[in-house]
Each structure stands twice: as C-alpha cells, then as structure tokens.
Structure 1
Amino acid sequence: MHTEDQSAAIACVKEHLAAGDGVPPRLVETHISLVFIGRTRVLKLKKAVRFPYLDFGTAALRAAACGREVALNRRTAPGIYLGVRRLTAGPDGRVVMEGAGPLVDAVVEMVRFDEDGLLDRLAERDGAGEGDGAGEGDGLNRGLIEALGQAVYDFHAAARVIGPDGGADRVRRVLEINRQGLEAGHAAGLLDGGVVRAVIGASEAAFTAHAALLETRGRMGRVRHGHGDLHLRNIVLIDGRPTAFDCIEFDDDLAITDVLYDLAFLIMDLLHRNRPAAAAAVFNRYLDAGPQDDAGAAHDRGPGLALMPLFLAMRAVVRAHVGAAAAMDASGADRDRIAAEAGAYLDLARRLLAPAPPRLVAVGGFSGSGKSTIAAALAADLGAAPGARIIASDRLRKRAFGQAATTRLPAEAYTPQVSERVYARMAAEAAAALAAGHSVIADAVFDRADTRARIRAVADDAGLPFDGLWLEAAEAVLVERVTARRGDPSDADADVVRAQLARAAGSAGPTDWHHLAADGMPGDRAARARAMLGLASAPIPTAAPLSTAATAPE
C-alpha cells in the first residue's frame, strides 16, 4: 500500500538527470522501486509502500534502506554503487538534490552499465549457453561459465557466516510462504490445483527427509548472508567479469540462506530459460571452485548435493506464486501471459522434485579424445537436477596443488604417486555424491585396468548402475586437438598423447566399456553416447554442450 505522494521527489530526480544529460531519463518500474536511467548515471527511488515483507513508508526508512542497499551491493559491485543522494525540501518548497533542508526522500546513485552485458540477455543470444564448438564469442560461453561459478563461490566464501544457525527453520519458513502463495494462486484460478498439491506434498516430504542435514549445514557455517536474488538479470559483465548486483536489502531473513539455496536461484533461472547444459556447468564449476581442504566446500560436493532438487524447486515456486500474485493485479493479455509463466515455473518445480535414481558413468580415453566434451553433454541428462556431478581428474589435480584449473603444473605433479592420490580422491568424491543421491560422471584417462576397477567398485559398493564410455580417435586427431587447446584444465601435449598410445600398443581398450568413436561433430557424439547409456534425448532442446570440441583433459 502507498503511504505518501512522491511526485515532487520524482520531478527532482528527472530534472537532475535531464540537466546533466540534456535528455529525459528512461524509467523502469518494479513493484518497490522507480529506476531512472540517464546517459551515465542511474538513480533508484524506493516507492513509499508498505507490504507484509517490507516497510518503505517514511522518508527515513527509505533513506536507511538506500544506505543498506549500497553497503550490501558493494560486496560484489563496488564500481556500480556510488552512494546515497538525499532529496531535501528547498526554501521555495520544491524538492532539491542534497540541499540543507529536511529530508524528503533518498535515491541510490549508480553507474550506468551496458545492459547488453546482462546475463539474461546473453543467455537468449543465438542459442547461447550451449557452446559453439569454440568456447568463444557471445552468449554464456565456456569462459564465462567458468568465471561465473568462481565468482559466486568467492562471494559465498567471503560472506558473513550466520551461526551456528538453525538451517531447517529458515527453509521451513520459506516453505510455508510458498504454500500460502500457491494456494492463493490456485484459489484465484491461476495455478493448477493438482500440480499445486503435488508440489506442496513433494516439498514437505523432501524437507522432512533432509531436516537433519539442513541443521548440520547451519551448524557448520553454510548459512551465510548471501545475495538473495541471484538470477541472470541481476548479473552483468563488467570489464569481462560477471558482477552480481541488486541483492535483497530490505529483509535479511530472505538473504540469509544456505549457500546452495543462494546458488539455486541462478541455476533454476537457467533451467527455466531452457539452458540445462549451462545450469549443469555453473553447478559443477561452483563446486570445483571450493578448496580441497575446506570442510564446507567438501560438504557441498558431498552430502549437500541431496538438497539441490528441493532448493531448486523452492526457487521455482517463489517465482510461481509471485507471478500469480502479479497476474491478479493484471488484466487481459498481460494477465494471461503472467499467469502462463507462473504456471511454467510451477511445472518446473514439479519436475525438479521428481525422483531420479543416481548412477555412475565413467568417461575415459586418451588425451584429446573429447572426454570433457562428452561429460558436459551428458551431465544435464543424468539423475537429479541440475545434472550429474562431473569429477574430472584434471581439476582434482589442480585443486590438490591449490592452483586454478587452467594453471599449468610442473612435471612432479604427474608422478605415479600423485596420480594414485588423484584417482583415490575421485573415487572418494564419487562415493560421497552417490551416497547423497546424486549421479556422477568420472572424467579421466582410465587407461589402466586398476583405475577402471576402482571407479567401477564405487558403483558396486553403492549398489548402483555403472557404465563406462571409452572414447577412441586416431593419433593425428588426438595430437591436433591437444595442440590446439588454450586455457584448458589439461596439461597434456602431443608427447603425452604419443606416450599414452605407446603404452597401450596392441590393446583394444577395455572390453567391458562402451566404445565410442570420438570423431565427427560434438552433437553427434553426444547423441551416440546417450543411446549407449539408454538416455532419452536432452529433455529441454539444446544445441551442442557447454564445452569445446578440442577440450579433452589429460
């Protein structure tokens, strides 16, 4: 509900930007703000409103909220948020910017950025997010996905820890708000009653199953003051780096969450936009970013995985009932459009909560055979959302040495003793993920029988299905690919390929694995791999996977 007339403040903001730019600003309106976009600056005025979840009813409250917005968003976007500007009463009764009179209102001052760099726009650009075989160019390419996963992890690692905290209580409160919102949407004739009941029931069942796990994560510091609204439209490329902005500032309870729930909004948004390969890739890059010796990051990669379907569904349900509420205030074609999107979010939640038995797939082959390309192509199709956990030996090795995935390691990092530890770590992480009900793709050369036996034993010990994919290509193809690679987790070169082939001379490869010719187009190889594993085609239409044809770690 609106509490006061802000027309004088609005006129002041418009005049201020027009005076500097020579043209009137563009207005973007949200349910709680008016955003005035000038040539180089943006001024954001909070509406004088009161809702059950926020109170901007007085100038003092709005000014305080502006200050909090700037402080919180400077955690991720210090170059965007310049500060708070006071709007005051002038001697002639007009509202002026930064005068000496009493406070009338306040605005957040921001630097204007190129809106074409918003990630929601990049995700929609020319089939973005599914790779073009080169890993470069527009859209959510491989480099951007890598940087995005790292940026979100780094933000969470630095975020204020809340705890020890009752992680289950926080989730319970969100579920109750979601239940009320869905029931209101159904009562208004906007959401399907059968789907509403199914989603509420499945969410309650998942919460009951994982309440103790949520409590454990709260006690170990995985509940932190996060972003709270981390979707694609709130991330922009600044100087080539993904930069999150516009976090929730009006209610700490909405922003203080399990870090995986904070991450889930971004992943759910990608799924809603039909970008399953990008969703699986961001998920994996986030998990890979955590240090090996960090207990919280290890929990994210292990037991915490069990929470992802619930967290993703909760995010989709929030969008569904917020959309339904917006449709109630709309009419005609707008009402139909908003209601349809709300229904799509609700159906996504239903699908995310559907049981998906875990399985283990190992992808092996000599360097340059395209293992990581196949792994990325299959991840979104395997098991619970957002797809299989890809455990790649190249990334495990770099993590063990405390190095970025693309940092080249010295020769001593590739001794038999180190490789033994890498394969042991792979088996341990695969076992932890499977125990959490999450599918795994193990990506390594697997040219020795003992390494293949070890990874198969992980599935056997868990009583779960195992499949091995052995990728094959001619020596010339392998050498060409490893020679062409740039910025890749694998350090293998042409000499490594030739040494691998020499060791395997006369061998036909593993007889109990599927053999996949690693030539042709990536999409064709992925289709053949899916058929070998008995997988349906990608559930959401996609192009090629989020990787490059030349990418093949090890």
Structure 2
Amino acid sequence: MKERKLTAMLPPIIQSLLKSEGTPGESGQVNLVQTQMSWILFAGNLVYKMKKPVDLGYVDYTTLEKRQYYCNREVELNRRLCPQGYLGVSTINLADGEYSIDGDGEVVDYAVKMKKLPQEKMLDYLLANNNPTADMLSQVAERVAAFHKKAETGPHIDPFGSIQAIRFNTEENFTQSIKYADKVVSRDTLDRIKDYTNRFLNNNSALFESRVKEGHIRDCHGDLHSSHICFTDELCIYDCIEFSDRFRYSDTAAEVAFLAMDLDHYGRADLSQVFIQRYLEMTRDSQVETLLNFYKCYRAMVRAKVNCFKLDDPYVDSEEKQRSLLKAQQYFDLAESYTLQKPWLLVNVGLVGSGKSTLAKELARHMGIVVISSDIVRKTLAGIPPVESASQGMDTGVYSPDFSRLTYETMFNQAASWLKKGVSVILDATFVLALSRKTAYEIAMKYNAGFAFLEYTISDEEACRRINHRKLEPGNVSDGTTQVYFKMKSEFEPLDKTEAQQRVIIDCAETTAENLAKVRHFIFNRYRS
C-alpha cells in the first residue's frame, strides 16, 4: 500500500517508465532511486538517469533543451574517469499516450544511459561492510593524481581558485544552511565553523594566490566521494558534476579533501590518511596538508546542506528524510571537528560490555578520529583473524600479562604515530590500571594533544546482558565474558582526583547520541584550544 502511494506521487512519465515495457534492460523489473536533481531508473544491466525539471539556484534543468545539453555534458565529462560506464544519451519518447526510452514518437525528455556497476564493489558499500583495504585507497589516490596532472587548467579556470571565489563558495554554505539552524544544527556549531573559515581565509591569502600561480586550479571531478567510486576490473570514478563549472573548477587540494572527509565520515580516518599520503607521494604537492582541514570542513558543510535540502523535497519519503537528517547532523559535527587547532587523544576506561567500542565508532564517524582497538591489535599481533576467538582462559595465551603489556605498548606506539601527524585518536581498551592511563596521558602531552578519559559506568546486570547478547552478533571481535567482567571489576584501579579533572562520565543508561554529545561538549566548550 505504501509503495503504491509513493508511486502515485511521481510524475506520469516516471510512473510509466517504471513499467518494464518501455524501459530497455535484461530484467523485467525497473527500480527507481531519487536524488534532489535526478530520477535514476535501474533496468537489469542498464541505468537511465533523468534530470528533474527543477531550478535550485545553482542548477537549472527547467527546459528540455537544458536537460539535453546537460545529459550530453555529463557523458562527456564522466568519460574522463569512467569511459566504460557511460554509454551515451537516450531519448524519452511519447507515442499514443505511452512513454518509452529510445522508442518511437515525440521526444519529450532525455536520459544519460549507463552500464550498471556492481553495488558490492562500490567503495561506500565496502566501507559499510568493513572490506576496503589500504591498497585500494592507494589505487584511488594514484588514479586521482594522474587525472589531476592531465586535467584542464588555464586563465578561464584560474579565477575559481581566487580567494574571492573561495570566500563566495564558503559563504554560500552558511547562507544556505542558516534556515536549518536550531532544527538540524545548533547556531553555536555554525558560528564556530564560520569563524574558523573566515580566520583561515584571512590568514592565508598568500597561500591561495600561490595555488593559482602554480597551476593547481583544475577542471576536477567536483563530487569525489565513496559512492562514486567502483572497483570494477578497471577502477571507475563516476558521476562528476556537469551542471556547474564553478563546482567542478577547483583547487586539486579541495578534491582530495572531499574523499578524505568522506572516509572520515565512515569512521575510517586511517584509510583517509592512506589516501592522502599516497596522493602526496604521487604529486609532491606539499601545500595540500596545510589546506586539508580547511577544505575538509568546507566539503563536510556541502554534504550537510545537500542532505538538508532533501528535507524540503516533496518527492522524498519520510524514511529517507529521517536518514538525511541524521546524515546532515553527522556532517555538521564532522565540519566542526576540523576547526580544532590540535589533535586529541581520547582514552576509553571501562569494563567489558560497557559500550566502549560502540561509542568509539560513533566518535570516529562524527570527529574523524582513528580508533585503535585493543581487541584488534591483540589478535593482529597473534596472527588471529579479528572475528575469531582468541580466548584460552583468563591470564593465559594472548591474555597473559606479558602479551597484554605488548598489546598496550603497540597501541601507544600507534597512537604516538598518529598524533605526530596531527590526527586524533581514541584508544579503545579497558585501561583498568593507573599506570597504563598515566602512559597514555604522557603521550598526549608529548605531542601537545588535547586529552580526555571517557569513563563508562554500567550496572552488573546490564553488563552481563550485553556480554551474552554480543556473543550472537556477527563480526564481534571481543572475547569478553561475564567471568572476565567480574575479574576486571575486582582489579580496577579508580581514577584519582587529577585524572577525574580530565574525565567525561559515559553513562551506559543513556543513549549513544547523548554520550556522544557529552564528549563533544567537553572538547569544544571546556577545552576549545
């Protein structure tokens, strides 16, 4: 019933094409995906992308001639990075009251015709299923670096890298986002992001000028994020921006920052750094690192506002709007995190089953933090797959005191390496011993990082319930048991008064969102520097 109601809300041309008779493809079923600007029809091995007749200010598809022009432009531009995926432009025809693709009758619209790419090989799918490798991101970096080297540049493109143009783009973000203040994002967050953006622009005018003079302003992809990357036999980077030269003509550093930010958004700041470092090795463009957080912040704001726009789209159903709301809030959080002036070291302190890993993953997604998990480090050192049990009994095997010390030492070394690069870290372990907490604090001080303990409180009953339930979850990497819980509880060394001053209490009776907000409040309001 719900599906029929939603279909009835669609324009007649789309309703008709959803019937397989008029839509070519190997499969008899046609499926629809919508964006703010497009209707995308999936028909077997083919995809047809039609442009909605909308004028959003930054894009105007209101006439047939414009839609034809931009369909042709989309094919031309996307063949630069995905020649095998773009097959051409199809006509939408009307004859005897029936619509068809590449059929007979009057041409009433146009669609970009594409080869369907395998969903399971899309980078966003791989990220959601924890499958991408460092080598894959290195491959993307190499492809993007080679593309940037050959991408068009010149006097007609250079002005888009001027500080005036960049200021216009950033100000547009704030102008278009302000209507969502106190509905999707707090005004304080928007103010922090705007203050950071303006300060960076005011303090780095010479840097932006040099980017133009040195030829770094290019005809780029313009929308380089994980859902536009597919690891087919030949790497395919598709769906670039065709509707606005202004959004595509940009500093190559801004393009690198877009994908780096998106990897942060998926909680994989580690892969983000792999991508960045390989790109720098390929291009020798040392200025990228200085510009990275600025452009990450800008790109996160773009993604936030695009998701906000869906909240006003009458063709987007309520479930999709709710997903867009949550995404927008996450992107605003991420944008704010890039305004921090130094990295942070967060240290989980709590017993098994208290929700440490759950909050660590959310912090990674909302703040671009690298998660260093004791469970994964321990099993990696032992040569054991993360989801395989390594338990041989308490205080034996990989859980012996000596192996536990090695695990913590490895975590500390990894944390130091990331902090040295200016990347924030959360250490996801129990930290029941005061000595291990002291070592973590000393590492943060050595690298001038912000610091906080996240101390988890939970009842015995709830902890045991979670531990027993977790055993049934696919992909669980923890070997924690109720016996381990009570043993750790007996060995726990409480935080002293000094440690308590750098502590955020994580109440496991509260939601993950509430605890996430408490950590962010501590970072942004108590220790802003």
Global fold match (TM > 0.5): yes
Contact 2:47 2:115 in 1 (8 A): yes
Give the direction of change, closer, same or farther, for the CA distance of 1:521–1:268 in structure 2 (3 Å limit): farther
Query: What is the alpha-carbon distance in structure 1 between the residues aligned to residue 196 and residue 327 of structure 2?
Result: 21
Contact 1:165 1:215 in 2 (8 A): no
Corresponding residue number in structure 2 for 1:208: 202
* 1:400-451 residue CA offsets vs partner (Å, 9 max, x unmatched): xxxxxxxxxxxxxxxxxxxxxxxxxxxxxxxxxxxxxxxxxxxxxxxxxxxx
Q: Does 1:56 align with 2:48?
A: no
Give the direction of change, closer, same or farther, for the CA distance of 1:533–1:279 in structure 2 (3 Å limit): closer
Q: How much does 1:191 deviate?
A: 1.0
Q: How much does 1:102 deviate?
A: 4.1
Query: What is the alpha-carbon distance in structure 2 between the residues aligned to residue 525 and residue 253 of structure 1?
Result: 49
Query: What is the alpha-carbon distance in structure 1 between the residues aligned to residue 414 and residue 100 of structure 2?
Result: 64
Q: How much does 1:199 deviate?
A: 0.8
Contact 1:17 1:24 in 2 (8 A): no
**What's the secondary structure of 2:236's corresponding residue?**
strand
Query: What is the alpha-carbon distance in structure 1 between the residues aligned to residue 98 and residue 317 of structure 2?
Result: 37
Greater Cα shift, 528-537 or 193-202: 528-537
Q: Does 1:285 align with 2:171?
A: no
Q: How much does 1:213 deviate?
A: 1.1
Query: What is the alpha-carbon distance in structure 1 between the residues aligned to residue 84 and residue 21 of structure 2?
Result: 21
Aligned match of 1:157 in 149, 154, 179? Answer: 149
Q: How much does 1:339 deviate?
A: 2.9
Aligned match of 2:165 in 161, 165, 170? Answer: 170
Q: Does 1:147 align with 2:31?
A: no
Query: What is the alpha-carbon distance in structure 2 between the residues aligned to residue 75 and residue 110 of structure 1?
Result: 14
Query: What is the alpha-carbon distance in structure 2 between the residues aligned to residue 65 and residue 523 of structure 1?
Result: 55
Aligned match of 2:332 in 327, 346, 352? Answer: 346
Aligned match of 2:251 in 258, 276, 281? Answer: 258
Corresponding residue number in structure 1 for 2:306: 322
Corresponding residue number in structure 2 for 1:269: 262
Query: What is the alpha-carbon distance in structure 1 between the residues aligned to residue 43 and residue 427 of structure 2?
Result: 38
RMSD of aligned alpha carbons: 3.5
Task: Return the letter of the residue paired with 1:327.
Answer: L
Query: What is the alpha-carbon distance in structure 1 between the residues aligned to residue 204 and residue 30 of structure 2?
Result: 49
Corresponding residue number in structure 1 for 2:496: none
Contact 1:274 1:540 in 2 (8 A): no
**What's the secondary structure of 1:283's corresponding residue?**
helix
Aligned match of 1:79 in 79, 84, 90? Answer: 84
Q: Does 1:231 align with 2:231?
A: no
Give the direction of change, closer, same or farther, for the CA distance of 1:16–1:71 in structure 2 (3 Å limit): farther
Give the direction of change, closer, same or farther, for the CA distance of 1:17–1:88 in structure 2 (3 Å limit): closer
Corresponding residue number in structure 1 for 2:236: 243
* 1:324-357 residue CA offsets vs partner (Å, 9 max, x unmatched): 3333557977655433332221121111121128
Contact 1:312 1:352 in 2 (8 A): yes
Query: What is the alpha-carbon distance in structure 1 between the residues aligned to residue 277 and residue 309 of structure 2?
Result: 34
Aligned match of 2:292 in 285, 289, 308? Answer: 308
Q: How much does 1:156 deviate?
A: 1.1
1:354-433 matched pairs, under 5 angstroms: 354-356=340-342
Corresponding residue number in structure 2 for 1:115: 119
* 1:196-218 residue CA offsets vs partner (Å, 9 max, x unmatched): 11111111101111222112111
Query: What is the alpha-carbon distance in structure 2 between the residues aligned to residue 243 and residue 333 of structure 1?
Result: 30
Query: What is the alpha-carbon distance in structure 1 between the residues aligned to residue 153 and residue 23 of structure 2?
Result: 43
Contact 1:9 1:105 in 2 (8 A): no
Q: Does 1:217 align with 2:211?
A: yes
Q: How much does 1:160 deviate?
A: 0.9
Query: What is the alpha-carbon distance in structure 1 between the residues aligned to residue 418 and residue 306 of structure 2?
Result: 38
Give the direction of change, closer, same or farther, for the CA distance of 1:522–1:65 in structure 2 (3 Å limit): farther
Could you tell me the TM-score, scaled by structure 1's length? 0.59
* 1:138-165 residue CA offsets vs partner (Å, 9 max, x unmatched): x221321221110111111121114372
Give the direction of change, closer, same or farther, for the CA distance of 1:19–1:199 in structure 2 (3 Å limit): closer
Task: Return the letter of the residue paired with 1:221.
Answer: G
Query: What is the alpha-carbon distance in structure 2 between the residues aligned to residue 47 and residue 146 of structure 1?
Result: 36
Query: What is the alpha-carbon distance in structure 1 between the residues aligned to residue 199 and residue 327 of structure 2?
Result: 26
Q: How much does 1:194 deviate?
A: 0.9
Corresponding residue number in structure 2 for 1:527: 411
Corresponding residue number in structure 1 for 2:379: none
Give the direction of change, closer, same or farther, for the CA distance of 1:289–1:201 in structure 2 (3 Å limit): same
Corresponding residue number in structure 1 for 2:380: none
1:21-32 matched pairs, under 5 angstroms: 21-32=26-37
Greater Cα shift, 12-21 or 98-107: 12-21
* 1:340-379 residue CA offsets vs partner (Å, 9 max, x unmatched): 3322211211111211289xxxxxxxxxxxxxxxxxxxxx
Corresponding residue number in structure 2 for 1:43: 48
**What's the secondary structure of 2:241's corresponding residue?**
coil
Give the direction of change, closer, same or farther, for the CA distance of 1:37–1:521 in structure 2 (3 Å limit): farther
Structure with more relative contact order (C-alpha pairs < 8 Å, separation 6 or more): 1
Aligned pairs, how many?
363
Q: How much does 1:78 deviate?
A: 0.6
Contact 2:257 2:293 in 1 (8 A): no
Contact 2:90 2:110 in 1 (8 A): yes
Q: Does 1:104 align with 2:99?
A: no
Query: What is the alpha-carbon distance in structure 2 between the residues aligned to residue 60 and residue 534 of structure 1?
Result: 52
Query: What is the alpha-carbon distance in structure 1 between the residues aligned to residue 405 and residue 84 of structure 2?
Result: 42
Query: What is the alpha-carbon distance in structure 2 between the residues aligned to residue 21 and residue 534 of structure 1?
Result: 49
Could you tell me the TM-score, scaled by structure 2's length? 0.62
**What's the secondary structure of 2:338's corresponding residue?**
helix
Q: Does 1:193 align with 2:187?
A: yes
Query: What is the alpha-carbon distance in structure 2 between the residues aligned to residue 263 and residue 76 of structure 1?
Result: 15
Contact 2:258 2:296 in 1 (8 A): yes
Contact 1:230 1:266 in 2 (8 A): yes
- Gaps of at least 5 residues in structure 2 are 1-9, 345-363, 371-382, 384-402, 430-529
* 1:465-498 residue CA offsets vs partner (Å, 9 max, x unmatched): xxxxxxxxxxxxxxxx9xxxxxxxxxxxxxxxxx
Q: How much does 1:265 deviate?
A: 1.0
Contact 1:73 1:246 in 2 (8 A): yes
Give the direction of change, closer, same or farther, for the CA distance of 1:146–1:207 in structure 2 (3 Å limit): same
- Gaps of at least 5 residues in structure 1 are 129-138, 291-297, 359-380, 388-480, 482-518, 544-554
Contact 1:33 1:45 in 2 (8 A): yes
Query: What is the alpha-carbon distance in structure 2 between the residues aligned to residue 68 and residue 50 of structure 1?
Result: 18
Query: What is the alpha-carbon distance in structure 2 between the residues aligned to residue 385 and residue 216 of structure 1?
Result: 28
Contact 1:42 1:112 in 2 (8 A): yes
**What's the secondary structure of 1:76's corresponding residue?**
coil
* 1:207-231 residue CA offsets vs partner (Å, 9 max, x unmatched): 1112221121112211111111110
